[in-house]
Structure formats: C-alpha cells, structure tokens
Amino acid sequence: MNAAPLFELKQVSHQFGNLPVLKDVSLQIFSGDRVALVGASGAGKSTLIRLLNGTLRPTQGEVWALGRNVNQLKPARLRQVQQQIGTVYQQFHLVDNLQVIHNVNAGHLGRWSLFKALVSLLVPLEVETATQALAQVGIPEKLYAITRDLSGGQQQRVALARVLVQNPLAILADEPIASLDPTLSREVMDLLRSLGQQAGRTLVVSLHDVAFAQSHCDRIIGLQQGSIRFDCPSHEVSETMLEDLYGAPDGAPDGAQG
C-alpha cells in the first residue's frame, strides 16, 4: 500500500551561476504530510520551494510533482500541475492598488480564460467564493478594501485566501510569518495547519522559528548550505541537532562538529 509521493526530489543539485545552492538533495513528500524546512539564511529553503512548484528547474537531478517529472513538462502541462500547488511567498505577491477581491480571485487565474480574467478586473466575479475564502482567513469585511491599506498580517491572509480559492492539493509557504508579530504569527500558523487538515492537503513551509516548526508540523527537514542535515519527525529534533544546524559550519574550530 505504498502510495506514490506527491513530491519527490531525486539527487537534485542546483547552482545559480557558479554558486552551488542545493547539493544532491533527495526527499519524498506524501499526500497529507506537514513538513517544515528550517536552516540558516542562505541554506536553500526558498530555492527548494521554487523547485517543488516548478518555477525553477534544477541544474542536476529530477523533480517530480504530482506524479510528473516537472523538468520534462511542456508549459501547458506544467501550468496544470502548478494549478494544484498553491504557493504563498514571503512578499505576498499581491497587487497593491487593487481591491482585495481581485487579489483573492487571482487564485482562479490558472483556470479562467484570458477574457474572463480581464472582465474580472472590471466587474468582480465570484464574489461568493472570494467572500468565503476571506471568511476562512478571518477578514471577510476587507473584500472591497484597497490591498495596500491592509496591515502586513492582513495582506498575508489575503495571500492565503487566494491560495484557498485556487483549492490546491498542496500549499507551499515560504516564511509565511517572517514579517508578523508573535500573535499574528501564531494565528497564521494555526490557519495554515487547519487549512492543511481540512482537505488533507499537503503543507510545506519554510520557517525561521523552529518552535513553530515543532508545534505545527509533523516532520522537519534541516538544510545546511544546500544539504539535508536531518529529515525526521518533529519530536525527534533535539537541541543538539539544532545547534549543529545553526552553528557556524565554516571556520568552526576542529572537532566543533559531529
């Protein structure tokens, strides 16, 4: 009864120019998994997320998503796969001067014709779905607000509502709480966890806050300078493993590591 993984990286390496960013990374993520990516700044977390959603092609190895070898898909097929993968970026990627409803409805764009998408900019379509999505993230009253007038936490919720409208099989979130205060961070993490639980969605979230990774995810992958240092159930991650992960790998005194 071994189900096929929803995502799989097979010996993936990635370089930006001459800079090796991921080194021989292999991993499998299954349907319904809740996975946190942790590691110091520059470890390769965002790069890994962009490989998973096919916005980046690896320089070596294979990335499989939803049973497809992403590297080999034609653009139209790739878009179909990407429609099933909702990504929340740290910078929200919202259009500031539009009403919230238009940003939420952007979750439909992969499915809508160009004509419908253009019409929707004049007359908001799917008001009902957008309202429901905003209610789920706790800000239904902001439907017609101008996006730039919202606080950072509210904009993060709009980005989540857009992903909800997309109704993907998997949600990838790149540091979704990096710009939020502790209270909002908890709310957004609770929200992400329950969005995952509701529909058995897979969740992959990169986090600087290891405590949230441990409290809200079942599995933690520790990245260090582009390599996986550990990949295990959250409760098995120890203080020593974290010190090792965030400790200075370069120039550390001999014997300081492992």
Ligand X SMILES: Nc1ncnc2c1ncn2[C@@H]1O[C@H](COP(=O)(O)OP(=O)(O)OP(=O)(O)O)[C@@H](O)[C@H]1O
Residues of this chain that interact with ligand X (CB under 6 A) are 16, 19, 21, 39, 41-47
Contacted entry of Mg ion, ligand X, none for residue 47, CB cut-off 5 to 8 Å set by kind: ligand X
Q: Which residues contact 115 (CB under 8 A, 6 or more apart)?
A: none
Compare residues 178 and 184 and give the one whose CB is closer to ligand X: 178
Compare residues 47 and 129 and give the one whose CB is closer to Mg ion: 47
Compare residues 131 and 225 and give the one whose CB is closer to ligand X: 225
State the minimum distance, in angstroms, from the CB of residue 210 to ligand X.
13
* CA 166/CA 104 separation, integer angstroms: 9
Contacted entry of ligand X, Mg ion, none for residue 43, CB cut-off 5 to 8 Å set by kind: ligand X
State the minimum distance, in angstroms, from the CB of residue 173 to ligand X.
12
Contacted entry of Mg ion, ligand X, none for residue 65, CB cut-off 5 to 8 Å set by kind: none
- Residue 87 binds Mg ion, judged by CB under 5 A: no
State the minimum distance, in angstroms, from the CB of residue 49 to ligand X.
8
Q: Which residues contact 251 (CB under 8 A, 6 or more apart)?
A: none
Contacted entry of Mg ion, ligand X, none for residue 44, CB cut-off 5 to 8 Å set by kind: ligand X
- Residue 120 binds Mg ion, judged by CB under 5 A: no
State the minimum distance, in angstroms, from the CB of residue 246 to ligand X.
11
Contacted entry of Mg ion, ligand X, none for residue 42, CB cut-off 5 to 8 Å set by kind: ligand X
State the minimum distance, in angstroms, from the CB of residue 40 to ligand X.
7
Nearest to 90 by CA among 18, 136, 41: 41
Binding mask 31-60 for Mg ion (x = CB under 5 A): --------------xx--------------
Compare residues 137 and 223 and give the one whose CB is closer to ligand X: 223
C-beta of residue 85 within 8 angstroms of C-beta of residue 163: no
Compare residues 48 and 160 and give the one whose CB is closer to ligand X: 48
* CA 26/CA 9 separation, integer angstroms: 5
State the minimum distance, in angstroms, from the CB of residue 90 to Mg ion.
7
Residues that bind Mg ion (CB under 5 A): 45-46
